Structure 1
Amino acid sequence: MTDQAPGAADSASGSAGSERWAIPRGLIVLLVAAATVVAITGAKAFSGVLGPVFLALMLVIAAQPIQTWIQRRGRPAWVGMIAALVVVYLVLLGLAAALVVSAAQLATALPDYSDQFSSLFDQVRSLLERFGVDHDRIQHALSGFDIGKLVDVLEAALRELAGVFSNLLFVLALLLFMAFDGMSVGRRMGAVAGLRPDIAHALTTFVAGTRKYLIVSTVFGLIVAVLDGVALWMLAVPFPLLWGLLSFITNYIPNIGFVIGLIPPALLALLDGGFGKMVWVIVLYCVFNVLVQSVIQPKYVGDAVGLSVTVTFLSLVFWAWVLGALGALLAIPLTLLAKALLFDIDPSTRWMDVLISDRPPASEPEDTTDADPAS
């Protein structure tokens, strides 16, 4: 019997390690980065299709409890599917109709504020002259502004918002097919759990977190919309229904949704009643939205989202760049989906949740090895 030399053993283990890593790790990183860039570029190129698909998926996830509740009461699965579809269809069609009608009314009424717009510019011009700004510079700076351009800007913004529902027929058709598949999703997930429990865990966590986020955001969005609409109506700001609807929709946009919903009514209040009315609009919006969105709502949705403020903002920028306005509205659910597919699906990568979460990791047990045994 011959003993193998230590050097030979090390050489053998080294050769085995080199065989396991035939491709250098640096090259693997570069390939992954290149594949990521290609995937993002493809998603951006097909945003017109991917956006409605994600919207339909999120709506089906939000409405799935209706179908499940009806099935538990002994009704056929198709009855629950139809009930969930009717609810989602009514919500989508109602939002689209309200946006179209309100935007048309706004475009018709804005030219009537041309005199107020001119008066406002005269005040701004006088204020700048008091601070010693040259008259010619003032004329050059303000010459490009007029009520017509303001109308064009607001109309373009509303068209962008209405563009969320531009593929409405496509979304409605997708909802029908997804709701039909949803009748058997429970059995399918049960099969997946038996074959790949980690994948089933990741998908179940994503669905539960997304559903809770959408439901809570919808409830608090309605609260904010009612408060803002009533406040604007009491201040006699034109089109309070439109601005309340805008507050509801922008509630789904993290971090900057409140600002987007505030700018149009504040500008219209400035044209309609001067700086005083605009200040009142800003103050009331800040009180209502900060109280609801920054104090109350995070307590209910924080456990479902579990994303840090930085990650939330970066997800908003990224998905808005990739999918446009629809990406901004669905930034949080899309980030939860990406987290489930990239991190939660593999136990070896779940440690990434600690880095992107807004919750601190569980505290480690206290080390008592040096403690006095008598104590």
Structure 2
Amino acid sequence: MLKVESPILKVLVALAAIVIILAGVKVASEIAVPFLLSLFIAIICSPIIRFMTSRKVPHWLAITLLLLMILVVFFSVLSLINSTAREFTQSIPQYRLLLSERINALVLLAKKWNIPLDLSTERTMEYMDPSVIMNLVSSTLLSFSGVVTNVFVLFLVVIFMLSEAPFAKHKLALVFSSDVRDVHREEHYINRILQGVISYLGVKTLTSLLTGVCVYILLELTDVQYAILWATLSFLLNYIPNIGSIIAAVPIVVQALLLNGFPTGLGVAIGVGAVNMIVGNIIEPKMMGRTLGLSTLVVFLSLLFWGWLLGTVGMLLSVPLTMVLKIALEASPETVKYAILLGDVKDINREIIDAKQEAAERIKEQAEWEENAEQIAEAIATAKEEAKNEAIAGVIADAKAEIEAEIQAIAKAADQK
């Protein structure tokens, strides 16, 4: 077997291995994406399953009830969105005509007030073609729906994952630990991954739901069409960090400007912006706390990377996937320095303190393990010594009993004579 001695060669080999793995994931994205989606659905559902089983509900019944509820909600919303999206797609060609009319009206208004405005309808249409924006929205929804098209297979995988969930953590800890003493440490890191992902996705789901509901109420109050479609789009794209809510707001504002006029469009733009500002910058950080531990730059780069690798679902899951990668890097002394690169600057000192405390706990656990091992060895030696003494005492007692029996027999024979 070839041994790699040079540090540069080791780095090149590692980079080559990473490129090969990423190429494999990219090629197998049709399999990897549903698997990851199923995995994260199972992780989100696991606390609910644990809550139900703690209330004496059988594990299989808890899984069945939860998945039935999810399926009912999923198909109800999907049918509603499907009918709205069909109507919306048919009206896309009308938006180009409406935009042309709005531009001409703006030019006439500028001429009326003697405002110099060099605005060509054809050139503006090239930059602000609403059909391009609307088709982008449609393709985004279709790309996501394509992943969940085979709902049966997706939920079948979720069922098997939830069935194995009670034992999966210990199995993974045994796989990744090289020694029995490392099992507890590996379980600690697995718990960190699960708690981080559950906390992030739970908070993100609540804030995305709040964003979708607020957008729906706003659009209904302002009489903007396809409110359920835009609310669903806002809910889904809010999972994409930094830019998701902005992307979701663009088609809403464009449609409101075209169909409802400038005052309504401006009001919708202000309203949607206020909702995203309040939820994204006030409510979500307060609920999220220090869950992420990722720098803003890393979050944005992870969005681009996972989006390129796994498509729309990769963008939705970019933050939890990067969190898993960061915690996995922290688990090994050789890779912990790379985990620091992914972390937030404000959290580095805290992570160093946590690492020192964790190292102290490991040393303490190892000392306790060694002390217990010594005590066990001493107990075994004592038990062996006691057993040996008991055996010797038993032999002596047996010999003494035999001698006494012989003496009694001799005495009895003498009396008879």
2:168 is matched with 185
1:48 maps to 2:30? yes
Structure 2 partner of 1:200: 187
- Could you say what the CA RMSD is over the residues aligned between the two structures, in angstroms? 3.0
How far the C-alpha of 1:255 sits from its partner, in A, is 0.4
Q: Which ranges of structure 2 fall in alignment gaps of 5 or more residues?
A: 354-417
Q: How far apart are 1:125 and its partner, in Å?
A: 5.6
- Unpaired runs of 5+ residues, structure 1, are 1-20, 366-375
The answer to whether the 8 Å contact 1:344/1:350 transfers is yes
Measured after TM superposition, the shift of residue 169 of structure 1 is 3.2
Which fold has the larger relative contact order, with Cα–Cα distance below 8 Å and residues 6 or more apart in sequence?
1
Compute the displacement of 1:107 (Å): 1.6
Query: What is the aligned partner in structure 2 of residue 370 from structure 1?
Result: none
Following superposition, the deviation at residue 167 of structure 1 comes to 3.9
SS in 1 for 2:300: helix
- Cα separation, partners in 2 of 1:320 and 1:22, compared to 1, 3 Å: closer
Counterparts of 1:326 and 1:205, CA distance in 2 = 23
| Greater CA drift, 89-98 or 327-336 | 89-98
1:159 alignment partner in structure 2: 142
Match of 2:154 in 1: 171
- Structure of greater Rg: 2
Question: What is the alpha-carbon distance in structure 2 between the residues aligned to residue 49 and residue 176 of structure 1?
Answer: 17
Provide TM-score, normalisation by structure 2.
0.73
State whether residues 204 and 239 of structure 2, in contact with CA within 8 Å, keep that contact through their aligned partners in structure 1: yes
Contact preservation (8 Å) 1:210, 1:305: no
1:28, 1:307 → 2: CA distance?
A: 28
Match of 2:63 among 51, 76, 81: 81
Answering whether residue 7 of structure 2 is matched by residue 25 of structure 1, we say yes
Q: 1:146 to 1:196 in 2, by over 3 A?
A: closer
Aligned residue identity for 1:246: L
Letter matched to residue 99 of structure 1: I
Distance in 2, matches of 1:145 and 1:217, equals 32
Alignment TM-score, normalising by the size of structure 1: 0.81
Contact 2:95 2:131 in 1 (8 A): no
> Per-residue CA shift, 1:156-178, capped at 9, x if unaligned?
34323433423433312211221
Count of aligned residue pairs for this structure pair: 342
Of 293, 296, 309, which aligns to 1:322? 309
- Alpha-carbon distance in structure 2 between the residues aligned to 1:123 and 1:52: 48
**In 1, Cα distance between the equivalents of 2:137 and 2:4?**
58
Distance change >3 Å, CA 225–CA 152, structure 1 → 2: closer
Decide whether aligned partners of structure 1 residues 38 and 324 sit closer, same or farther in structure 2, where only a CA change above 3 A counts.
same
Amino acid at match of 1:234: L
Question: Structure 2 counterpart of 1:39, which letter?
Answer: I
Structure-1 residue corresponding to 2:341: 355
Q: Cα distance 1:164–1:263, how it changes in 2: closer, same or farther (>3 A)?
A: farther
SS class of match (1:166): coil
Alignment equivalent of 2:282, drawn from 295, 313, 317: 295
Q: Is the 8 A contact 1:253 1:329 kept in 2?
A: yes
* Closer, same or farther: CA 92–181 of 1 in aligned 2, 3 Å: farther
